[in-house]
Amino acid sequence: MRLATAEINLSALSYNLKRIKELAPDARVMAVLKANAYGHGLVKIAQHLNDADVFAVARIDEALALRAGGLTKPIVLLEGFFNRTDLPILIANNFETIIHDENQLRAIETSQLDARLSVWLKIDTGMHRLGIEPQQFERFYQRLKACDNINPKMKLMTHFSCADDLNSTQTQHQITVFERLVADKPEARCLANSAGVLGWPGSHGDWIRPGLMMYGVSPMLNRVGAEHGLKPVMRLTTRVIAIKTIAAGEKVGYGGRWQSQQQTQLAVVAMGYGDGYPRNVRCGTPVVIREKRYGIVGTVSMDMITVDIGNNPDGIAVGDPVEMWGPALPVEEVAACAGTIPYELLCNVTTRVSYDYLTPTD
């Protein structure tokens, strides 16, 4: 009997990319695949994104894994490179790099390279993570334009810090800062992450960088993917492995943090923090069994979770499938019950979980 499984719906992935293109019809798409494609499987996901223009990852080892998997599209390194010795690897593998600090620029200027690098100059307009300061922009821009190691068709970008919040003024401030800086520059521009694509159409520019939304999950506060016309790509499932009857007043699980108020039945399901399910979900967090929601009770263990099924009117039995999140139960909702964000849940699925890739013919 198969237990913890992540079903990856590749038809939903294709549908979401088509939806993204509808939302930003004039922009090219940089499909973000960092962190194992947000927990969905790096190479498998990339193989089904033929309509993306380029791929993006955080680090060079992720990019090399894509090349080893046979992917040939250009790949952008969102954190850039870290050592001068990385530069020949970038050129040999058609990797494009973000430039965000003086050390990177100096390394490129002073290296002997066999070909020109394609670069994206990142400006920090308010995220205060990576990126050059606005007052540095003109100097960096002119040095890059003058550098023989740089492909003259560089691109300009920034990253939003609060685009998930439509009530925040920060995103419009960042757009204004960016557009003021680059107003007289002919280079292509890239501002919008997933939240920018959905909430700030004025930021679409020449390139967009969809990440979370590509996997059918909303990046916006208090929203779910279906509200944007997206379909969840991952369905995390397991099975019921035991049914227990307990009396009123009995405590359940480590620490006895939940106590039954009346006689009830518990379904024990094969899922836990060893599979990546968050240990700190509150009691009552839903799961779906036989198309009906039931609440988790007690503490999430490494391998098992207990679910209160009452007097079991639906006849739940050992072996029944359980949806932990997916089409019937948005991961955004589970994340809220754990006091976190859906990014974390998707990325934390462990190697103990089996992956099942569903193609359009399945």
- CA dist 49 and 88 (Å) reads 27
At 2 the pLDDT is 79
Could you tell me where in the chain the CATH 2.40.37.10 domains are found?
234-358
| Statement: 10-214 belongs to CATH 3.20.20.10 | yes
Residue 274 in 3-state DSSP?
Answer: helix
Neighbours of 152 (CB within 10 A): 11
Domain 234-358: CATH architecture, name and number where available: Beta Barrel (2.40)
Question: Residue-wise pLDDT tens for the chain (362 aa)?
Answer: 779 999 999 999 999 999 999 999 999 999 999 999 999 999 999 999 999 999 999 999 999 999 999 999 999 999 999 999 999 999 999 999 999 999 999 999 999 999 999 999 999 999 999 999 999 999 999 999 999 999 999 999 999 999 999 999 999 999 999 999 999 999 999 999 999 999 999 999 999 999 999 999 999 999 999 999 999 999 999 999 999 999 999 999 999 999 999 999 999 999 999 999 999 999 999 999 999 999 999 999 999 999 999 999 999 999 999 999 999 999 999 999 999 999 999 999 999 999 999 987 65
Alpha-carbon torsion 173, 175, 181, 183, what sign?
negative
31's enclosing H/E stretch is: strand 28-32
- For the stretch 68-125, pLDDT in tens is 999 999 999 999 999 999 999 999 999 999 999 999 999 999 999 999 999 999 999 9
Residues 6+ positions from 147 with CB-CB distance below 8 Å: 108, 109
Given 215, 254, 277, 292, the catalytic residue = 254
Question: DSSP secondary structure string, 143-208?
Answer: HHHH-TTB-S--EEE---SSTT-TT-SHHHHHHHHHHHHHTT--SEEEEE-HHHHHH-GGG--SEE
Give the residue range(s) of CATH 3.20.20.10 domains in the chain. Answer: 10-214
Residues in Cβ contact with 349 at an 8 Å cutoff, skipping those fewer than 6 apart: 6, 39, 234, 236, 275, 276
Residue with the two structure tokens 């990797």: 95
Are 56 and 74 in contact by the 8 Å Cβ rule? The answer is no
Question: So what's the pLDDT on residue 45?
Answer: 98
- pLDDT at res. 360: 73
Of 231, 171, 219, the closest CA to residue 195 belongs to 219
Catalytic annotation, pick one of 34, 141, 215, 343 = 34
Q: What are the tokens at 174?
A: 């960042």
pLDDT at 121: 98
Question: What's the confidence (pLDDT) of residue 193?
Answer: 98
Instruction: Specify whether 273 is catalytic.
Output: no
CA gyration radius for the chain? Answer: 23
254: annotated active-site residue: yes
Of 259, 195, 258, 192, whose CA–CA distance to 221 is shortest?
Answer: 195
